Amino acid sequence: MLTIHEIQQEDWVRLLELMQQYRDRPMDSADATLVLIAEKTGYRQILTLDSDFLFYRIGNQGTFDIIQI
């Protein structure tokens, strides 16, 4: 199932906060958007080859469950 989430104007503040928080990696807007959606929905599973998702936290707490392929 594919779900599309629209980023709202008020979400940009959180996206910028995330990119600032992870500036040492550095986090781009695409990664920040995926973390934001995880925070909003509670979805933890992600299919990615990007190793940064091992370090990103959902809501500064939980980690992502990386789907292995």
pLDDT higher than 90, residue 66: yes
What pTM does this model have? 0.90
The kind and range of the H/E element at 57 are strand 57-58
> For 43-62, what is each residue's pLDDT tens digit?
999 999 999 999 999 997 89
The kind and range of the H/E element at 30 are helix 29-41
> For 18-38, what is each residue's pLDDT tens digit?
999 999 988 999 999 999 999
Give the chain's radius of gyration (CA, Å): 12
